[in-house]
Homo-oligomer: A and B are copies of this chain.
Amino acid sequence: MMKKIRLIDTTLRDGMHAVSHQFSTEDVSAVVKALDDAGVDTIEVSHGDGLGGSSFQYGFSKATEEAYLKAAAGAMTNAKLCVLLLPGIGTHKELEMAANAGAKVVRVATHVTEADIGEQHIKIAKSLGMEAIGFLMMSHMVDVDKIVEQAKLFESYGADAVYVTDSAGAMIPTQITERIAAVKKAVSIPVGHHAHDNMGLAIGNSIAAIQAGADIVDGTCRGAGAGAGNAMTEVLVGVLDKMGYATGIDLYKIMDAADDIVMPRLHRPPMITKESLSIGYAGVYGSFLLHALRAADKFNVDARDILIEMGRRKTVGGQEDMIIDVAYELANRK
Protein backbone atom coordinates (compact mmCIF):
# COMPACT_ATOMS: atom_id res chain seq x y z
CA MET A 1 0.00 0.00 0.00
CA MET A 2 1.16 3.51 -0.74
CA LYS A 3 2.33 5.51 2.25
CA LYS A 4 0.04 8.45 2.91
CA ILE A 5 1.84 11.76 3.20
CA ARG A 6 0.01 14.53 5.01
CA LEU A 7 0.37 17.83 3.23
CA ILE A 8 -0.27 21.04 5.18
CA ASP A 9 -0.93 24.00 2.92
CA THR A 10 0.27 27.28 4.36
CA THR A 11 -0.51 29.61 1.45
CA LEU A 12 -2.68 31.64 3.82
CA ARG A 13 0.00 31.88 6.53
CA ASP A 14 3.55 31.75 5.10
CA GLY A 15 2.09 33.11 1.85
CA MET A 16 0.86 36.15 3.81
CA HIS A 17 4.50 37.33 3.71
CA ALA A 18 4.28 37.45 -0.10
CA VAL A 19 1.42 39.95 0.06
CA SER A 20 2.59 41.86 3.17
CA HIS A 21 -0.30 40.25 5.10
CA GLN A 22 -2.87 41.94 2.87
CA PHE A 23 -5.10 39.03 1.81
CA SER A 24 -8.73 40.02 2.34
CA THR A 25 -11.28 37.77 4.06
CA GLU A 26 -12.74 37.20 0.57
CA ASP A 27 -9.29 36.04 -0.62
CA VAL A 28 -9.13 33.68 2.35
CA SER A 29 -12.59 32.25 1.58
CA ALA A 30 -11.80 31.73 -2.09
CA VAL A 31 -8.44 30.07 -1.47
CA VAL A 32 -9.73 27.85 1.33
CA LYS A 33 -12.67 26.75 -0.81
CA ALA A 34 -10.34 25.75 -3.66
CA LEU A 35 -7.89 23.93 -1.36
CA ASP A 36 -10.69 22.14 0.49
CA ASP A 37 -12.27 21.10 -2.79
CA ALA A 38 -8.92 19.74 -4.03
CA GLY A 39 -8.70 17.53 -0.95
CA VAL A 40 -6.08 19.36 1.13
CA ASP A 41 -6.15 17.85 4.60
CA THR A 42 -4.96 20.79 6.70
CA ILE A 43 -5.02 24.49 5.83
CA GLU A 44 -3.03 27.01 7.87
CA VAL A 45 -4.39 30.55 8.18
CA SER A 46 -2.60 33.20 10.27
CA HIS A 47 -0.49 36.34 10.02
CA GLY A 48 2.87 35.42 8.43
CA ASP A 49 4.47 35.65 11.87
CA GLY A 50 1.63 33.75 13.51
CA LEU A 51 -1.29 34.72 15.72
CA GLY A 52 -0.81 38.18 17.17
CA GLY A 53 1.67 39.07 14.44
CA SER A 54 -0.44 41.94 13.12
CA SER A 55 1.49 44.83 14.64
CA PHE A 56 3.72 47.77 13.90
CA GLN A 57 6.76 45.48 14.29
CA TYR A 58 5.69 42.67 11.94
CA GLY A 59 3.26 44.53 9.69
CA PHE A 60 -0.47 44.92 10.07
CA SER A 61 -2.85 42.41 8.49
CA LYS A 62 -5.70 43.62 6.31
CA ALA A 63 -8.32 41.98 8.55
CA THR A 64 -8.40 40.73 12.13
CA GLU A 65 -7.18 37.21 12.79
CA GLU A 66 -10.66 36.30 14.00
CA ALA A 67 -12.26 37.51 10.76
CA TYR A 68 -9.74 35.50 8.71
CA LEU A 69 -10.33 32.34 10.75
CA LYS A 70 -14.11 32.62 10.61
CA ALA A 71 -13.96 33.19 6.85
CA ALA A 72 -11.74 30.12 6.50
CA ALA A 73 -13.83 27.92 8.78
CA GLY A 74 -16.96 28.91 6.88
CA ALA A 75 -15.44 27.95 3.54
CA MET A 76 -14.24 24.43 4.37
CA THR A 77 -16.15 21.18 4.43
CA ASN A 78 -13.52 18.48 5.03
CA ALA A 79 -10.21 20.19 5.78
CA LYS A 80 -8.89 21.01 9.25
CA LEU A 81 -8.16 24.65 10.05
CA CYS A 82 -4.68 25.26 11.43
CA VAL A 83 -2.97 28.28 12.99
CA LEU A 84 0.64 29.19 13.73
CA LEU A 85 1.70 30.55 17.10
CA LEU A 86 5.13 31.88 18.11
CA PRO A 87 5.12 32.08 21.92
CA GLY A 88 5.60 35.71 22.84
CA ILE A 89 4.08 37.07 19.65
CA GLY A 90 0.91 35.04 20.23
CA THR A 91 -0.46 34.23 23.69
CA HIS A 92 -3.05 31.91 25.19
CA LYS A 93 -5.69 34.59 24.44
CA GLU A 94 -5.14 34.38 20.68
CA LEU A 95 -5.07 30.59 20.92
CA GLU A 96 -8.45 30.51 22.68
CA MET A 97 -9.86 32.94 20.12
CA ALA A 98 -8.59 30.68 17.32
CA ALA A 99 -10.11 27.57 18.86
CA ASN A 100 -13.44 29.36 19.24
CA ALA A 101 -13.23 30.52 15.61
CA GLY A 102 -12.83 26.94 14.43
CA ALA A 103 -9.09 26.14 14.45
CA LYS A 104 -8.47 22.44 15.10
CA VAL A 105 -4.66 22.43 14.81
CA VAL A 106 -1.95 24.74 16.13
CA ARG A 107 1.72 24.76 15.27
CA VAL A 108 3.75 26.09 18.16
CA ALA A 109 6.89 27.53 16.60
CA THR A 110 10.10 28.18 18.51
CA HIS A 111 13.75 28.68 17.64
CA VAL A 112 15.37 25.25 17.28
CA THR A 113 17.04 25.55 20.70
CA GLU A 114 13.99 26.84 22.58
CA ALA A 115 11.30 24.17 22.52
CA ASP A 116 10.88 24.79 26.26
CA ILE A 117 9.11 28.11 25.65
CA GLY A 118 6.47 26.13 23.74
CA GLU A 119 5.51 23.80 26.60
CA GLN A 120 2.72 25.97 27.99
CA HIS A 121 1.12 26.54 24.59
CA ILE A 122 1.22 22.88 23.63
CA LYS A 123 -0.58 22.06 26.87
CA ILE A 124 -3.15 24.84 26.46
CA ALA A 125 -3.84 23.62 22.92
CA LYS A 126 -4.39 20.07 24.15
CA SER A 127 -6.73 21.32 26.89
CA LEU A 128 -8.69 23.17 24.16
CA GLY A 129 -9.04 19.88 22.29
CA MET A 130 -6.70 20.93 19.47
CA GLU A 131 -4.03 18.97 17.69
CA ALA A 132 -0.70 20.52 18.76
CA ILE A 133 2.41 20.41 16.58
CA GLY A 134 5.90 21.51 17.62
CA PHE A 135 7.72 23.52 14.96
CA LEU A 136 11.51 23.87 15.32
CA MET A 137 12.60 26.88 13.26
CA MET A 138 16.06 27.62 11.82
CA SER A 139 17.01 24.00 12.34
CA HIS A 140 20.08 24.35 10.09
CA MET A 141 21.79 26.26 12.93
CA VAL A 142 22.43 23.31 15.24
CA ASP A 143 23.73 19.78 14.95
CA VAL A 144 21.60 16.67 14.75
CA ASP A 145 21.85 15.81 18.47
CA LYS A 146 20.46 19.19 19.46
CA ILE A 147 17.48 18.86 17.11
CA VAL A 148 16.75 15.39 18.46
CA GLU A 149 16.89 16.73 22.05
CA GLN A 150 14.47 19.56 21.21
CA ALA A 151 12.10 17.30 19.27
CA LYS A 152 11.94 14.98 22.27
CA LEU A 153 11.08 17.95 24.47
CA PHE A 154 8.09 18.76 22.27
CA GLU A 155 7.04 15.11 22.42
CA SER A 156 7.33 15.17 26.22
CA TYR A 157 4.98 18.18 26.37
CA GLY A 158 2.33 16.17 24.57
CA ALA A 159 2.85 17.43 21.00
CA ASP A 160 1.08 15.30 18.39
CA ALA A 161 3.84 15.85 15.81
CA VAL A 162 7.13 17.72 15.48
CA TYR A 163 8.68 19.63 12.59
CA VAL A 164 12.23 20.17 11.37
CA THR A 165 11.85 23.60 9.79
CA ASP A 166 14.37 25.09 7.35
CA SER A 167 13.26 28.71 7.84
CA ALA A 168 16.08 30.21 5.79
CA GLY A 169 16.11 27.61 3.00
CA ALA A 170 19.71 26.99 4.02
CA MET A 171 20.02 23.22 3.93
CA ILE A 172 20.95 20.69 1.26
CA PRO A 173 19.19 17.33 0.90
CA THR A 174 21.81 15.29 2.79
CA GLN A 175 21.41 17.60 5.81
CA ILE A 176 17.64 17.09 5.70
CA THR A 177 18.06 13.33 5.41
CA GLU A 178 20.23 13.03 8.52
CA ARG A 179 18.06 15.38 10.61
CA ILE A 180 14.73 13.77 9.69
CA ALA A 181 16.08 10.24 10.06
CA ALA A 182 17.50 11.01 13.52
CA VAL A 183 14.33 12.70 14.78
CA LYS A 184 12.15 9.97 13.30
CA LYS A 185 14.21 7.38 15.20
CA ALA A 186 14.04 9.32 18.46
CA VAL A 187 10.33 10.11 18.72
CA SER A 188 7.18 8.07 18.25
CA ILE A 189 5.02 10.94 16.94
CA PRO A 190 4.82 11.93 13.24
CA VAL A 191 7.65 14.09 11.91
CA GLY A 192 7.25 16.97 9.46
CA HIS A 193 9.43 19.15 7.26
CA HIS A 194 8.89 22.74 6.17
CA ALA A 195 11.13 23.92 3.32
CA HIS A 196 12.03 27.26 1.78
CA ASP A 197 13.34 27.72 -1.74
CA ASN A 198 16.19 30.19 -1.20
CA MET A 199 18.67 27.72 -2.71
CA GLY A 200 16.21 26.14 -5.15
CA LEU A 201 15.87 23.06 -2.96
CA ALA A 202 12.37 23.32 -1.48
CA ILE A 203 11.08 20.37 -3.51
CA GLY A 204 14.35 18.41 -3.45
CA ASN A 205 14.58 18.76 0.34
CA SER A 206 10.91 17.83 0.84
CA ILE A 207 11.47 14.64 -1.15
CA ALA A 208 14.62 13.90 0.84
CA ALA A 209 12.61 14.39 4.05
CA ILE A 210 9.92 11.97 2.92
CA GLN A 211 12.45 9.39 1.80
CA ALA A 212 14.06 9.71 5.24
CA GLY A 213 10.73 8.94 6.87
CA ALA A 214 8.88 12.28 7.24
CA ASP A 215 5.11 11.90 7.53
CA ILE A 216 4.12 15.53 6.90
CA VAL A 217 5.40 18.22 4.52
CA ASP A 218 4.34 21.81 4.00
CA GLY A 219 3.59 23.60 0.77
CA THR A 220 2.09 26.80 -0.57
CA CYS A 221 0.33 27.34 -3.88
CA ARG A 222 2.72 28.85 -6.42
CA GLY A 223 5.31 28.79 -3.62
CA ALA A 224 3.91 31.98 -2.08
CA GLY A 225 5.90 32.62 1.08
CA ALA A 226 8.70 34.41 2.87
CA GLY A 227 12.07 34.86 1.14
CA ALA A 228 12.22 32.89 -2.10
CA GLY A 229 8.99 31.19 -1.12
CA ASN A 230 8.08 27.67 -0.06
CA ALA A 231 7.75 24.25 -1.65
CA MET A 232 4.91 24.54 -4.17
CA THR A 233 1.90 22.52 -3.01
CA GLU A 234 0.85 21.62 -6.56
CA VAL A 235 4.36 20.45 -7.44
CA LEU A 236 4.58 18.34 -4.27
CA VAL A 237 1.28 16.67 -5.22
CA GLY A 238 2.56 15.88 -8.73
CA VAL A 239 5.98 14.68 -7.62
CA LEU A 240 4.65 12.55 -4.73
CA ASP A 241 2.07 11.01 -7.04
CA LYS A 242 4.85 10.11 -9.51
CA MET A 243 6.87 8.61 -6.65
CA GLY A 244 3.98 6.44 -5.52
CA TYR A 245 2.95 8.29 -2.35
CA ALA A 246 -0.68 9.18 -1.67
CA THR A 247 -1.62 12.72 -0.65
CA GLY A 248 -5.39 12.53 -1.10
CA ILE A 249 -5.18 15.69 -3.19
CA ASP A 250 -6.48 15.95 -6.76
CA LEU A 251 -3.59 17.07 -8.99
CA TYR A 252 -5.64 19.01 -11.54
CA LYS A 253 -7.72 20.75 -8.88
CA ILE A 254 -4.66 21.84 -6.90
CA MET A 255 -2.95 23.07 -10.10
CA ASP A 256 -6.09 25.09 -10.87
CA ALA A 257 -6.25 26.43 -7.32
CA ALA A 258 -2.63 27.57 -7.58
CA ASP A 259 -2.77 29.11 -11.04
CA ASP A 260 -6.33 30.43 -11.17
CA ILE A 261 -7.16 31.30 -7.56
CA VAL A 262 -3.88 32.04 -5.75
CA MET A 263 -1.61 33.42 -8.49
CA PRO A 264 -3.91 36.33 -9.45
CA ARG A 265 -3.95 37.33 -5.77
CA LEU A 266 -0.14 37.58 -5.41
CA HIS A 267 1.51 40.96 -5.87
CA ARG A 268 4.43 39.27 -7.56
CA PRO A 269 5.43 35.63 -8.00
CA PRO A 270 8.05 34.41 -5.51
CA MET A 271 11.48 34.17 -7.13
CA ILE A 272 15.05 33.36 -6.24
CA THR A 273 16.98 36.64 -6.45
CA LYS A 274 20.46 37.53 -5.29
CA GLU A 275 18.89 38.70 -2.03
CA SER A 276 16.90 35.56 -1.24
CA LEU A 277 19.77 33.34 -2.41
CA SER A 278 22.13 35.23 -0.09
CA ILE A 279 19.76 34.63 2.85
CA GLY A 280 19.84 30.88 2.15
CA TYR A 281 23.58 30.83 1.53
CA ALA A 282 24.26 32.77 4.74
CA GLY A 283 21.60 30.89 6.70
CA VAL A 284 20.09 33.96 8.36
CA TYR A 285 16.59 35.24 9.00
CA GLY A 286 14.89 36.81 6.00
CA SER A 287 14.05 39.83 8.12
CA PHE A 288 17.78 40.72 8.25
CA LEU A 289 17.75 41.65 4.58
CA LEU A 290 16.34 45.18 4.67
CA HIS A 291 18.54 46.12 7.63
CA ALA A 292 21.59 44.75 5.82
CA LEU A 293 20.78 46.70 2.66
CA ARG A 294 20.47 49.93 4.66
CA ALA A 295 23.70 49.32 6.58
CA ALA A 296 25.53 48.37 3.37
CA ASP A 297 24.50 51.65 1.84
CA LYS A 298 25.54 53.65 4.89
CA PHE A 299 28.96 52.00 5.32
CA ASN A 300 29.67 51.36 1.63
CA VAL A 301 30.04 47.59 1.97
CA ASP A 302 28.28 44.67 0.21
CA ALA A 303 25.03 43.63 1.92
CA ARG A 304 25.88 40.01 1.11
CA ASP A 305 29.11 40.27 3.15
CA ILE A 306 27.04 41.49 6.09
CA LEU A 307 24.54 38.62 5.77
CA ILE A 308 27.27 36.00 5.48
CA GLU A 309 29.09 37.41 8.53
CA MET A 310 25.80 37.42 10.48
CA GLY A 311 25.42 33.76 9.49
CA ARG A 312 28.96 32.97 10.64
CA ARG A 313 28.19 34.51 14.03
CA LYS A 314 25.06 32.34 14.27
CA THR A 315 22.84 35.31 15.00
CA VAL A 316 19.11 34.77 15.38
CA GLY A 317 15.95 36.84 14.97
CA GLY A 318 16.02 39.76 17.40
CA GLN A 319 19.74 40.43 16.90
CA GLU A 320 19.19 42.85 14.03
CA ASP A 321 21.14 45.52 15.93
CA MET A 322 24.35 43.55 15.33
CA ILE A 323 24.04 44.31 11.62
CA ILE A 324 25.33 47.83 12.18
CA ASP A 325 28.33 46.52 14.16
CA VAL A 326 29.16 44.03 11.42
CA ALA A 327 28.86 46.65 8.68
CA TYR A 328 31.10 49.00 10.66
CA GLU A 329 33.73 46.28 11.13
CA LEU A 330 33.63 45.30 7.45
CA ALA A 331 34.07 48.93 6.43
CA ASN A 332 37.10 49.29 8.73
CA ARG A 333 38.66 46.09 7.35
CA LYS A 334 38.63 47.51 3.83
* Chain A residues within CB distance 8 Å of chain B: 172-174, 199-205, 207-208, 211, 223, 231-232, 234-235, 238-239, 241-243, 251-252, 255-256, 258-259, 269, 271-274, 277-278, 280-281, 302, 304
- Contact between chains at A231 and B269 (CB < 8 Å): no
Q: Which residues of B contact A172 (CB under 8 A)?
A: 207, 239, 242-243
**Docked CA distance A139–B124 (Å):** 53
Known: A200-B204, A201-B204. 8 other contacts (CB 8 A): A174-B211, A199-B235, A200-B239, A201-B239, A204-B207, A234-B274, A235-B272, A255-B277
Q: Which residues of B contact A256 (CB under 8 A)?
A: 274
A39 → chain B closest CB, angstroms: 17
A224 → chain B closest CB, angstroms: 12
- Contact between chains at A232 and B272 (CB < 8 Å): yes
A248 → chain B closest CB, angstroms: 17
Residue of B nearest to A205 (CB): B204
Residue of B nearest to A256 (CB): B274
**Docked CA distance A84–B114 (Å):** 53
- Contact between chains at A274 and B302 (CB < 8 Å): no
Q: Which residues of B contact A281 (CB under 8 A)?
A: 238, 241-242, 251
- Contact between chains at B269 and A271 (CB < 8 Å): yes
A315 → chain B closest CB, angstroms: 18
**Docked CA distance A173–B242 (Å):** 12
